[in-house]
Structure 1
Amino acid sequence: MNHEHQQVFASMMAGHGITEMHGLDLMRQIKMLSHLYGMLISSHMRDAQLSGSRWRLLLHLHMAEQMEQASLSPTELSRMQHVTKNTISSLLRSLEEQGLIERTLDPKDRRQFKIRLTDEGRELIRKSTPEHVVYLNQLARDLTPDEVTQLGELLHKLRVSLTRHGDLPDTYCQEKSNP
Structure 2
Amino acid sequence: MNKPKSRHERRKYWLKFVESLGLDVDADAFRLMNEMHMVTHAIKQIGENSLAAAGLSMAQYRILTHLLFSKNVFDEDVLNPSEISDHLGVSRNTISSLIRSLEDKDLIQRKLDTNDRRKFKISLTSAGTDLVTRYAGHHMHNVSHCFTVLNEDERKQFSSYLNRLSNQIENGRNCAKETNT
Preserved contact between residue 109 and residue 124 of structure 2 (Cα < 8 Å): yes
1:114-129 → structure 2 map (5 Å cutoff): 114-129=121-136
Partner-residue secondary structure (3-state), 1:83: coil
Higher relative contact order (CA 8 A, sep 6+): 2
Q: Deviation per CA, 1:110-129, whole angstroms, max 9, x where unpaired?
A: 11000001111010111111
Give yes or no for the alignment of 1:44 onto 2:56.
no
TM (norm. structure 2) is 0.83
Given the superposition, is the C-alpha separation of residues 6 and 166 from structure 1 closer, same or farther in structure 2, using an over 3 Å criterion? Answer: closer
2:81 aligns with 74
Alignment counterpart, residue 102 of structure 1, candidates 106, 109, 130: 109
TM (norm. structure 1) is 0.84
Moved over 6 A (4+): none
Report how many residues are paired. Answer: 165
Distance 1:60 1:27 in 2: 28
Preserved contact between residue 46 and residue 142 of structure 2 (Cα < 8 Å): no
Alignment counterpart, residue 9 of structure 1, candidates 11, 17, 20: 17
Deviation at 1:3, TM superposition (A): 4.6
Q: Which amino acid aligns with 1:34?
A: T
Given the superposition, is the C-alpha separation of residues 11 and 64 from structure 1 closer, same or farther in structure 2, using an over 3 Å criterion? Answer: closer
Deviation at 1:133, TM superposition (A): 2.1
Distance 1:94 1:76 in 2: 18
Given the superposition, is the C-alpha separation of residues 154 and 95 from structure 1 closer, same or farther in structure 2, using an over 3 Å criterion? Answer: same
- Name the Cα RMSD after superposition: 1.9
Unaligned 5+ segments in structure 1 are: 168-179
Q: Which amino acid aligns with 2:84?
A: L
Larger radius of gyration: 2
Give yes or no for the alignment of 1:62 onto 2:68.
yes
| Percent sequence identity over aligned pairs | 30
Given the superposition, is the C-alpha separation of residues 140 and 4 from structure 1 closer, same or farther in structure 2, using an over 3 Å criterion? Answer: closer
Unaligned 5+ segments in structure 2 are: 1-6, 177-181
